[in-house]
Amino acid sequence: MAFEHTQVPGAYDRTPAKPDMADVVFREGAFMQGAELNEAQSILRGRIARAGGLSARDGDRIAGAGIVVNPGAGNVFLEAGRIYAAGDVRAVNAWTLEGVPMEGEVTIGVRLVRQVVTHEQDPDLLGLAPGTVAEGEAGAARIVETLVWGRAGDGKPGDLYPVYLIKDGVALDQTAPAELSVTLQAIAGYDRDANGSYVVDGCRVGALGRQAGNQIFVIEQGVANIDGFKRTRSASLRMSVPETFDTGRIDAETHVFSDGGSGTATLALRFPPLANLVQALVTKETTEAVTHGPSVGAMDLLSNDSVTALVEVRQGVTVYTAGTDYTLNADRVDWTPGGAEPAPGSSYQVTYRFRDAVAPVSTTDS
């Protein structure tokens, strides 16, 4: 049969399927149904919840219900108090949540746990009026609703209504309970439009430096009006922000250095830090023996490419003159100028400079 009650077997309620019903009117001469009594309660409960929602939100603290976070132990102590949830102001007992993650964001709230109680669990629900037919007989069941503290992802039963947000072991908002929170939204709009978001007290930011590619900041405890709402933290907050850069390409950066005979050198870049090294070119100087070609005016190829300059060309004690005797032509010694030159097939020494791509041993930010 349709319209079964969601929690109590053998009971019925048409209200969820017919939300527009506003009243239950009992007619003379007609049978009274248990479902009609259930529907009268549901209509009234819905009306109260809608009215309450105009001035409070689920998870609003009405009184007490403070929080104390112990990051070292991974515990969160939550005080007793009263919290608005599911259309009513409900009491919640003090509780300590164990094993709460202290990295990232964790939602702490209250769970609304519903339990069906009949005369079998509570004999006090049997008929009370002595001498009547109903005395000692079973009557209506009861639905008991209680609030308990919990957190997102704990796998516990009941709907979770968020109250606190913990980020890296710090409760982000510990503002004292406020009444009529939805009414405050209208006031917040005026404050936000006139002043924006601003710090009331504390909340100073300090930079602690880099750690594992992140910039670490500490935000002091304090009070701030954010989007018109007052937010309070009673403990400082560490915040890790991934370090990112706007990168630009440097086509070439030239450095003159001496390795001091070690074969290595450390260079300080002009535009640090280094995001990506496309290529490192080093100008090297070497001397090699070259065999002259078989004819006068031949061009002799050098063993390295990317040659930038011929420093000296000699054969024995004879030193040839650049431009008059020879020129550099595409990594070759060009003897076409027509000046003095080695005999064809003879060997001579060439000292020259060339560029060579090398792999850095290591790189740093500078």
What CATH number should be reported for the domain whose range is 195-244?
A: 2.30.18
**In the chain, where are the structural domains located?**
1-52, 61-179, 195-244, 249-366
- pLDDT category of residue 354 using cuts at 50, 70 and 90: very high
- What is residue 115's predicted lDDT score, i.e. its pLDDT? 92
Residue with tokens 């390795």: 259
Q: What is the mean pLDDT of the chain?
A: 88
Higher pLDDT, 251 or 90: 90
- pLDDT category of residue 362 using cuts at 50, 70 and 90: confident
Query: Does the pLDDT value for residue 325 go beyond 90?
Result: yes
Query: Does the pLDDT value for residue 174 go beyond 70?
Result: no
pTM to 2 decimal places: 0.56
CA 208 to chain centre: 19
Give the residue-averaged pLDDT of 78-83. 93
Q: How far apart are CA 80 and CA 120, in angstroms?
A: 31
CA 10 to chain centre: 49
pLDDT tens, position by position, 4-28: 888 888 899 999 899 899 999 999 9
- What is residue 180's predicted lDDT score, i.e. its pLDDT? 54
pLDDT tens, position by position, 34-80: 889 999 999 999 998 888 887 788 898 988 898 988 888 889 999 99
- pLDDT category of residue 230 using cuts at 50, 70 and 90: confident
- What is residue 314's predicted lDDT score, i.e. its pLDDT? 95
Q: How far apart are CA 76 and CA 96, in angstroms?
A: 6
- What is residue 109's predicted lDDT score, i.e. its pLDDT? 94
